[in-house]
Amino acid sequence: MESSTSFTPMQEDDTSLKHFILKTVEWIKYLWRKRLWLILAGVIGAVLGLFFSLATAPKYKATLSFVLEDSDSNPLGAYAGIASQFGINLGIGGSSGIFSGDNILEFLKSKLMIEKTLLLPVQVNGRKKTLADLYIEMNDLRKSWSRKKGLKNIHFPVSLKRGKFSLQQDSILGVIHKDLLKENLTIVKPDKQLNFIVVECTTKNEVFSKNFVEKLVNEATIFYVKTKTQRSQSTIDRLQGKADSIEALLNQKTYSVASAQDMNLNPARNLARVSTEVAARDKYVLQTIYAEVLKNLEISKMAMAQESPIIQIVDIPTLPLERKKLGILPGMLLGGFLGVFLLILGISSLQAYRKIITQ
């Protein structure tokens, strides 16, 4: 007669749990036998963490926050309606696409804005130099370029125009742009419901961090204002030209009326008064046109004033900046933990390999 043994799911779970507990206890006992090696690994890791914390240069974080104005609600809409009756487009209403939504975040990270900022001058120890040169110096890049021909002595002079840069200078600006985005620069919108934007720059140089965020936002503001007011400025220039031309004609007509009145001294000659009346009528028409042009010119100026400034700074970085550095105690604790962890990982791998070989 055959006999069979069956296990219920509960019995199988109990067996698995018992096996796990036995294996855990066995593993703890094994590590306890290696405690001297674990202590040694922890001490070595702590010493390495100490040296790392002492050798690591501190970094300085500059934070600037600003608000992007909402241009959808414009109080000059009524003026725009009046001006449109005279065929004048004031360019009021509708936000520029590049600055709508989260596009401003990518715009601040763009190569155009970062390179323009890197080429701006900054005062360091009584000397003017570009932020690009300051970035190269603080990261000691020329030392790593010493074996590359033409790079060791490369500079970005303040007076040198962008169009005269060499291919090497263009290439270096591109590399710095990528490194800044990867290692140093953070641009975020903390709350999607609000228009607050925070720009942070963390580098080894306090002067660079502070100046970079300030100049980056300032360059973006200038570009933004120029883009938003370009159409209004074109309208103003056109209206100003018309106003100057009409004013010149009006002055001429005023002299013509005065001259005609001087010549027509005989009141009995009605025909002679015709030229005076015609000149006076032309003068009145020119005065009416001139008044309308001046009115539209002032409306256009008001519209452009409303569009600028677009960016309102909320918080600016002030010296001394926030200092970020791994402390001695955290460095030692982190180093000791990593040392013990790596040793346990190595022991586990070795044990697993031995079991596979012996099977």
26 and 156, same domain (yes or no): no
pTM of the model: 0.62
Looking at the structure, tell me whether residues 68 and 115 fall in a common domain. Answer: yes
Query: Do 247 and 331 share a domain, yes or no?
Result: no
Is 1 inside a domain boundary? no
**Over 80: is that where the pLDDT of 208 sits?**
yes
Tokens 């600003």 locate to 66
8 Å CB contact between 198 and 63: yes
Residue range 137-177, pLDDT digits in tens: 888 888 878 777 767 778 888 888 877 888 888 888 989 99
SS3 content of the chain, % helix, strand, coil (to 5): 65, 10, 25
- Residues 131/120, Cβ–Cβ less than 8 Å: yes
For residue 11, the model assigns a pLDDT of 53
- 39/135 same-domain check: no
Q: 243 or 257, which is more confident?
A: 243
Report which of 311, 317, 308 is spatially closest to residue 104, judged by C-alpha positions: 311
Domain tally for the chain? 2
60-97 tens-digit pLDDT: 899 999 887 655 444 444 445 445 544 555 554 444 45
Rounded Cα distance between 134 and 129, Å, is: 7
Identify the three-state secondary structure at position 213.
Answer: helix
277 pLDDT higher than 70: no
**Cα 295 off chain centre by:** 39
Neighbours of 256 (CB within 10 A): 17
Please indicate, yes or no, whether residues 86 and 140 belong to a single structural domain of this protein: yes
Q: Are residues 50 and 181 in the same domain?
A: no
Kindly state whether residues 268 and 337 are assigned to the same domain. no
Handedness of CA 12, 14, 18, 24 (dihedral sign): positive
The dihedrals phi and psi of 2, each to the nearest 5 degrees, come to -90, 145
% of the chain at pLDDT higher than 90: 11
* pLDDT score of 87: 52
Residue 83 lies in a domain: yes
What are the contacts of 95-100 at 24+ separation with CB within 8 A? 95/70, 95/71, 96/224, 96/227, 96/228, 98/227, 99/68, 99/224, 99/227, 99/228, 99/310
- Residues 78 and 197 occupy one common structural domain: yes
Q: Is 237 helix (H, G, I), strand (E, B) or coil?
A: helix
pLDDT digits (tens, 9 = 90+) for 184-205: 999 988 877 777 889 999 998 8
For range 228-254, the mean pLDDT? 73
Encoded tokens for 112: 């155009």
Q: Which two tokens stand for residue 178?
A: 């990528």
112 is a domain residue: yes
- Give residue-wise pLDDT tens across range 8-27: 555 555 567 777 777 777 77
pLDDT band at 266 (very low <50, low <70, confident <90, very high): low
Strand partners, 327: none
The parent domain of residue 302 ranges over 57-324
- pLDDT at residue 215 is higher than 90: yes
> Which one is predicted more confidently, 72 or 226?
226
Inside any domain, residue 70: yes
Q: Are residues 33 and 92 in the same domain?
A: no
For residue 4, being part of any structural domain is answered with no
The answer to the question of residue 3 being in a domain is no
Q: What is the mean pLDDT of the chain?
A: 75
Report the pLDDT averaged over residues 227-254: 73
Q: Are 310 and 347 in a shared domain?
A: no
**What CATH number is associated with residue 116?**
3.30.1890
Q: Are residues 49 and 144 in the same domain?
A: no
Residues 183 and 245 in one domain: yes
Q: Among all chains, which residue has been given the structure tokens 């939504």?
A: 101
* Residue 190 pLDDT: 83
Domain presence at residue 129 = yes
Is residue 232 over pLDDT 70? no
Between CA 277 and CA 121 the distance in angstroms is 65
Question: Could you tell me if residue 2 is inside a domain?
Answer: no
Distance separating alpha carbons of residues 307 and 72, to the nearest angstrom: 11
| Cα angle: 324, vertex 326, 327; to 5 degrees | 110
